[in-house]
Amino acid sequence: MARNHISKQISTKSTILLLFVSVLVGGALIFDYLWSSSSSSSVVYTSIHYNWIRENNDLVTLPNFFNGTDKIADFKDENGKIPVRLLSGTFADLAAPDIEWEEMTPAPVPRLDGASIQINELFYVFSGYRNLDHVHSHVDVYNITSKKWGESFATPQEMANSHLGTACDGRYIYVVSGQKGPQCRTPPVSETFVLDTRTRNWASLPPLPEPRYAPATQIWRGRLHVMGGGKENRHTPSTDHWSIAVKNGKALEKTWRIEVPIPRGGPHRACVAVGDRLYVIGGQEGDFMPKPGSPIFKCSRRHEVVYGDVYMLDDKMKWHTLAPMPKPDSHIESSWVVVNNSIVIAGGTTEKNPVTKRMILVGELFRFDLQSKKWHVIGKLPYRVKTTQAAYWDGWLYITSGQRDKGPDNPQPRKVVADLWRTKLSL
């Protein structure tokens, strides 16, 4: 009886073990079938995840997503292998020649999201953040010839502190809309001011029809044009385009005129007038918003789309789409100069890292040839930087301020700087 009882126990255990093994084998076969028939997107994710961990963030292996068109490429080549492209940990830095930079006397204060205007050898740098809890309410002026920063002077109390739209006619500087206060305060203001740079007196102009954050702003064909930017919630892009006639620091009209909307909305773009053409370059859709319920309007991250679109408005008020930038670029509203029929743009921000979703700064110097309508990468900056301010005088390109990267191997934003650099630029 005991022997039979033991035999039955062994038989039962063997049956359970056999069933368990069968379930494992069956499950493995089913998984293998589903895996082999799954979409290539599963392969993409595994490749990204595996290589990101394996290389300890030094090297990322990503599929070659595109085939030169706007359609998704076939992942497998003729040998059945998945083609890849390698991206360094500094993600998307473009090949560029090294150029020599000379460090000059820094600005009196660090500033982020400020603005600047150049009038001959004088370089006016406006307001901006010192950090998220402190904003400036003054103008610093650098004399390029004497290589000295002059005495600062205040902006009007009602004027915004950051995300300004600025333009100049050679004497008068127009400052439009923007954000008043630190953090992510909302709504923005709609007030518009004008500075007489000879007397340093301020005056007001008719306010915009609606407040805007960082709108594209320029004087073109006798009118002050304001377009795009972010709407009152700081995040929603606007395609609105308004203009008002101005002369000698005064508005010749009482209200703003509605113009043809810009093809794509959003803030943080370069806006450049050359002859009978107006160019709007780069930018983004979306931006940080105030955190719900925060008494200090603390910033809350929102989805952003950075783009490299280039639009040209002709003398018949018709928009044209031109060749895009070498890579998407935003935060460049004061980061440009015009040199020998070319637009030169320094730094900015590009698409976020596809794995970490972190903001990535731009360290290249771009040139847009206005004759050929082609882009070129002509150099590297001293470091990657966004919202840097640019000027050009007597063969030298100057950049100052902005927020720089964490280091050569880390393109994420870190320190707000007051640095001033220059390099010899011959085009």
Domain with residue 381: its CATH number is 2.120.10.80
Domain finish residue from 88, 121, 155: 88
* Domain limit, last residue, from 66, 88, 110: 88
Per-residue pLDDT at 103: 98
At 324-370, the pLDDT tens digits run: 999 999 999 999 999 999 999 999 999 988 877 889 999 999 999 99
- Looking at residue 79, its pLDDT comes to 60
The answer to whether position 343 is within a domain reads yes
> Of 88, 120, 137, which marks where a domain is finished?
88
Cα 379 to Cα 87, 309, 383, 426: the distances in Å are 20, 21, 11, 12
Q: 34 lies in which domain range?
A: 2-88
Tally of domains in the chain: 2
Question: How far is 204 from 195, CA to CA, in rounded Å?
Answer: 9
Both 262 and 390 in one domain: the answer is yes
**Model confidence pLDDT, tens digit, residues 156-195:** 999 999 999 999 999 999 999 999 999 998 889 999 999 9
Q: Is the pLDDT of residue 69 over 70?
A: no
- Residue range 100-107: mean pLDDT, rounded: 98
For residues 75 and 164, membership in a common domain is answered with: no
pLDDT confidence band for 397 (50 / 70 / 90): very high
User: Is 319 within a domain?
Assistant: yes
Report the b/e string of 14-46 with b at 16+ CB within 10 A: eeeeeeeeeeeeeeeeeeeeeeeeeeeeeeeee
Is residue 43 scored above 60 in pLDDT?
no
Average pLDDT score over the chain: 84
Residue 171 CB neighbours (<10 A): 13
Are 48 and 143 within one domain? Answer: no
Do 21 and 142 share a domain, yes or no? no
Are residues 295 and 178 located together in one domain of the fold?
Answer: yes
Are 73 and 132 part of one and the same domain? no
More confident residue, 37 or 143: 143
Q: Is a pLDDT exceeding 90 seen at residue 57?
A: no
Question: Do 66 and 107 sit in the same domain of this protein?
Answer: no
C-alpha closest to that of 338 among 380, 387, 281, 384: 281
